[in-house]
Structure 1
Amino acid sequence: MRCVADETNKRTLPTTGWAVLGLLSFGEELSGYDLKKRSDLSLRFFYSSPSFSQIYSELKRLEKAGYATSRRIGHDTGTRDKRVYRITEEGLAAVREWARQAPVDPPVLKHGPMLRLWLGHLLEPAQMREVLLRQRDFAEDMRLRAAADAEATQADPAWAYPAVTLKWAERYYTSERDLAAAMLHDVEALPHHRPSGPDQSMGLPS
């Protein structure tokens, strides 16, 4: 009989699926809205916060795999019922194995401001300065948010490791802020004259 790849095999889950399952691994019964809030509280600082559509898509995949179950619950206040999800024993074992066995891949850096800096010869000095100032301010804002969320999660012992991860995020964005400031200083130290032609600006022979 021909072997057909089973879509529910744990090895077929995308990383976003493991992230959603990981959010359920803390033991609480959560709705899609709750998962999005938890994701914004932690994942967005170091990976990516999935959209609502991604979350619900992964929840369907997890249910099909037997890694999560769901049920509808009502409200005494008359508001609409909602569906909540809980991890299964099989799901907990799967995400534990993934966390233990998944290769530690190096992070992929896709840094928009660095790409703009690389193309700085095509910008006016004031434009390049604005890019770096925005990056510096963005990094500082993320640093403050990560610090606040780290402090907020410290009260819950179950979130000890997310709290430590948020401290890592705080230190990362501190570094990003300082790097942007250093790059701003370096750019401002460059000669104001900028060659008009790409061959000249790149130091290539004409």
Structure 2
Amino acid sequence: MPATSWAVLGLLSFGEELSGYDLKKWSDWSLRFFYWSPSFSQIYSELKRLEKAGYATSRLVAQETGSRDKRVYRITGEGLAAVRRWAREAPVDPPVLKHGPMLRLWLGHLLEPDQMRDILARHREFAEKMRRRALADVEGAKGETAWAYPTLTLKWAERHYAAERDLADAMLADIEELERGTGG
């Protein structure tokens, strides 16, 4: 199965019955900081795949008058065993760095120095915003014993974005040094 399947199954592994909308919110709250947040269409495609494989079940829940019934999903015992086995035994792929600001820096000879500084300043702002969001989510997850490891992952994300912010600052300083003719 693709990584998205394992991510959706992993979200279901916390034992709650969740709708596709709930899964999207949960992935935005956690997965987006370190992997990606699948789109609604990806989530629903994966839920169908997981049901077909016997890893998840669903049922319709009646909503208030005038609202459509809501489909909620739950992991099966077989699904829990599969995601546990995957987490324990699947090879860990090295992270792939696809870094837009770094690509632009590499092409810096095609930009004006002010343009490069602007790109790095915007990246710094983005990294700081993500760091603050991860930190806020860490605070929000405290006390949820089922989320102990996702909370550690959010702490990792907070530290990662702090490092990205600091790297942007260092690159800005390196550009200044380069412009003075003292850098490489």
Paired position in structure 2 for 1:137: 125
Q: Please state how far the C-alpha of 1:153 moved relative to its aligned partner.
A: 1.1
2:143 to 135, 155, 171: 155
Q: Please state how far the C-alpha of 1:76 moved relative to its aligned partner.
A: 3.5
Deviations 1:131-151 (A, max 9, x none): 000110000000000000111
Q: Please state how far the C-alpha of 1:59 moved relative to its aligned partner.
A: 0.2
Paired position in structure 2 for 1:52: 40
C-alpha distance in structure 2 between counterparts of 1:29 and 1:135, whole Å: 37
Q: Structure 1: state its 5+ residue gaps.
A: 1-12, 194-206
Paired position in structure 1 for 2:114: 126
AA matched with 1:52: F
1:80 to 65, 68, 73: 68
Paired position in structure 2 for 1:164: 152
Q: Please state how far the C-alpha of 1:75 moved relative to its aligned partner.
A: 1.9
Paired position in structure 2 for 1:104: 92
SS in 1 for 2:50: helix
Q: Please state how far the C-alpha of 1:79 moved relative to its aligned partner.
A: 2.4
1:41 to 20, 26, 29: 29
Q: Please state how far the C-alpha of 1:42 moved relative to its aligned partner.
A: 0.3
Is 2:161 aligned against 1:178?
Answer: no
RMSD of aligned alpha carbons: 1.1
C-alpha distance in structure 2 between counterparts of 1:182 and 1:191, whole Å: 14
Is the Cα–Cα contact under 8 Å of residues 125 and 192 in structure 1 kept in the other structure? no
AA matched with 2:17: E
SS in 2 for 1:182: helix
Query: Which entry has the higher C-alpha Rg, 1 or 2?
Result: 1
Is the Cα–Cα contact under 8 Å of residues 146 and 169 in structure 1 kept in the other structure? yes
Structure with greater proportional helix content: 2
AA matched with 2:15: G
C-alpha distance in structure 2 between counterparts of 1:188 and 1:27, whole Å: 52
Percent of pairs with identical residues: 76
SS in 2 for 1:163: helix
Normalised by the length of structure 1, the TM-score is: 0.86
SS in 1 for 2:178: coil
Normalised by the length of structure 2, the TM-score is: 0.96
C-alpha distance in structure 2 between counterparts of 1:46 and 1:154, whole Å: 19
Q: Please state how far the C-alpha of 1:189 moved relative to its aligned partner.
A: 1.6
C-alpha distance in structure 1 between counterparts of 2:71 and 2:142, whole Å: 28
AA matched with 1:160: A
